[in-house]
Structure 1
């Protein structure tokens, strides 16, 4: 039980910081667009990476020379593009949130979600490397990993479905403009950090 709680606490604290993936889940939750599919995709992706880390695959980055650099530049390029899309949306005036709006295609939402997850080097550092190495300190690595996986499911589904509590605020286009601009700043800030590493 102690290993499970430790895994949950560390996993939750690592995922809590606002980032590209979390901003996307928040936006989808606010729009009520494919929330189940997006939350499930994020949580399952995290689960795969956590299991890989706990199983001892954290050494992959060390075994494949240049992998970290490729991931870093690919992730930065994607975040620059995605941030620019948000800035363009903010400049165009945002969009009022309609009740029950399910804007956007499911395939496009899932591809964006997968790119924000799998092209982000920080995801690998947090899940595969950090959680994987901390799990080695516990006799029950499986319980530690299960706690971290549970934290991902709780966080993503809480964020995605909890976002609807903010929907009255996002009935005004000006609120969307502010959110789009903030998301764009977050994306470009993360991209800048990746390029300066």
Structure 2
């Protein structure tokens, strides 16, 4: 029970803060007409978190910390993707508009991959926090800890999508969805600025 409670509280504390991944999942659920159409982004984000957490617990992801060049590359690529995402969300219109084309599954997955696998802050949190805390457990306790942290991610992403869909369903005119898109874009832009600051400090 200790490892399960520990994993639950730790992963919940890491995933609750407003980040690019959470913003994007919520945004897509609010913009699409059905929850089913947001499954690509939910599944992609869940698989990415599962992948990162598994690597962190196995210790494989420590390679990233030991290679400054690799860190810089992740920061640069992640920054470019987040800037593009901020621009896309700023110009995105809600599904209540006749001229709106829902973001394709392929684009949802590519954006989800970028905010999950190319987000330096998320990677460092996973490696530095979850990976480190997992080292205090062995055997079944470590397995329970791992499964709990992974489960929290999946449940949280589904919860975000449900809440986003409810808001999108209430907003018949689409004006609030436009506001959500603008706010999402600004939040991701701020995250991009913070990543640029971290990149600058890493290089200089």
Shorter-chain TM-score: which interval?
Answer: 0.7 to 0.9
Contact 2:64 2:71 in 1 (8 A): yes
Matched, 1:36 2:36: no
TM-score by length of 1: 0.87
Offset of residue 146 of structure 1? 1.1
Which range moves more in the overlay, 11-20 or 138-147?
Answer: 138-147
CA deviations 1:129-149 (Å, max 9, x no partner) are 310001112342222111100
Task: Select 1:60's aligned residue among 63, 67, 84.
Answer: 63
C-alpha contact (below 8 Å) 1:82/1:184 kept by paired residues: yes
Structure 2: where are the runs of 5+ without partners? 199-204
TM-score, structure 2 normalization: 0.85
SS in 2 for 1:138: coil
Tell me the distance in 1 between the aligned counterparts of 2:77 and 2:71: 10
CA RMSD for the aligned pairs? 2.0
Correspondence for 2:19: 19
Match of 1:166 in 2: 167
Q: CA deviation at 1:179?
A: 0.8
For structure 1, which segment, 59-68 or 20-29, has the greater mean C-alpha deviation from structure 2 after superposition?
59-68
Partner of residue 127, structure 1: 126
Distance change (3 Å), C-alpha of 1:24 and 1:49: same
- What secondary structure sits across from 1:167 in the alignment? helix
Aligned residues of 1:74 and 1:119 also touching (Cα < 8 A): yes
Q: 1:104 to 1:84 in 2, by over 3 A?
A: closer
Deviation string, structure 1 residues 172-194 (Cα, Å, up to 9, x no partner): 23212211111111111001001
Q: How many correspondences in the alignment?
A: 191
What do the CA deviations read for 1:151-182 (whole angstroms, capped 9, x no partner)?
Answer: 11110111112322212443223212211111
Aligned to 1:2: 2
Q: Does 2:88 match 1:85?
A: yes
Give the structure 2 partner of residue 103 of structure 1.
102
